[in-house]
Amino acid sequence: MIVQINKSLKTLNTFGIDQQAERLIWAHSTNEVLDYLKHHGAPTLVLGGGSNMLLTKDVQGDVLKIDIHGREVVFENEEEVHIRLGAGENWHEVVLWTLSQGLGGMENLSLIPGNCGTAPVQNIGAYGVELKDLLIRVEGVQLDPAQTFELDNAGCEFGYRDSIFKNAWKGKAIITHITVALTKVNHRLNMDYGAIKSELEKAEIDAPTPRDISNAVVKIRQSKLPDPAVLGNSGSFFKNPVVSSDIAQQLLERYTDMPTYDVSGGVKLAAGWLIEQAGWKGFRRGDAGVHEKQALVLVNYGDASGDEVLTLAHDIIDDVAKKYGVQLQAEVNLI
C-alpha cells in the first residue's frame, strides 16, 4: 500500500474541491484492503472514482483509495460472457473496451463518470438501462469483522439510484470487484429512451449496433453535460423525484408540458425540468453554479468550496419545493 500524508484530494474528486486527507492510503488488491482493516479498523472515508461525492471539509483520519484493476472473463457460452471487473477500473473505459470486443449491454451507460466499484452503490443508470440489468455479482470486504463477501443481484436490493450499500450496508462494506453479463449475439438494444432514436436517424443508421447506441449516447451527453476535466461537476446532482399518480396529475393540470415517466411505485418527474422552470438554469454565485445546458448539474467554475455548492443545492431544493410542492434529493454523497 502507498501512504501519503496531508494530501490534497482535488484531483481525486470530479468536482475539483480542494480538501485534504490527513492520510491517503492506496489499496491495490482485496488482500491489501483486508490487511488495512485488520490493522487499522474502518477508514474515515472510502474513495473510488470520486465522481459521486461533494467534499465540504478536510478529512481527519484515513482516506482509503480503492485502486483495484483487472478485467477477467469468468464465464462464456455462445450467447453471453460474464466479465469480472476490478473496482478501480474506469467505467467508461470499460464500456469502450467491451464494445471493442463486440459485446453488448453497457452501451447505454456510456460516458458515466466514475469507477466500477461505485457503480452498484448508486445502481447507475441512463437512457433506459441500469446496472441492475447487467450485474451478476458484487464482491468486497465487510468492515466489521473484516471479511470478504459476495452478493448476487437480488442481494444488492437495487432500486432507483439505490442499493443495499446506501442503506443497511452503508459504511459497512467496501466493494472490490463486480461481475456483469454481456451479450455476444442477439443484442437487446434499448433505443427508445431520450434522444437516442433521433440521433440514430440523423446518422441514417437503420440497423444499429451496440457501438452505434454508445456513440449516440456519448454525443447526447457531451451536448448536455460538462467534462469534469474542464469544469468540476459530479454529473446529475439531484435524483429525479418519484411522486404519486395523484400528485403528478395535479401538476400536469397546471404544467401541461411537464415530462413524466410511469415507474414502479408512482410517476417519475424530471428534476432538471423542475429546476429549469424555476429559473435556476445557468445561475452562478461566485464559482458555484448551475450548468447552462443542464439544470441537473451543479458545477465548480474554479475555486468553489464544497459548502458553497451545498448551499446552492439547498436553495434550489427549497425553491422547487415552494413552487411545485416536490422535494428534491441530492444524488451525490455529501462528505
Catalytic center residues: 161, 236, 331
Quickly count helices (H) and strands (E) in the chain: 8, 20
Phi-psi region of 218 (alpha: psi -120 to 50; beta: other; left: phi over 0): alpha
By the 10 Å C-beta count (0-12 exposed, 13-18 middle, 19+ buried), 9 is classed as buried
Report whether 9 contacts 59 (CB < 8 A). Answer: yes
Q: Provide the CB-side half-sphere exposure for 37 (13 A, CA).
A: 23
Alpha-carbon span 205 to 234, nearest angstrom:
32
Q: What values do phi and psi take at 268, rounded to 5? A: -90, 130
3-state secondary structure of 185: coil
Could you tell me which of 141, 140, 142, 150 has the C-alpha nearest to residue 177?
Answer: 140
Residue type, 78: E
Residue 302 corresponds to which cell in the numbers above? 474554479
Compute the C-alpha angle 234/240/245, nearest 5°.
175
By the 10 Å C-beta count (0-12 exposed, 13-18 middle, 19+ buried), 265 is classed as exposed
- Residue position matching grid coordinates 482509503: 64
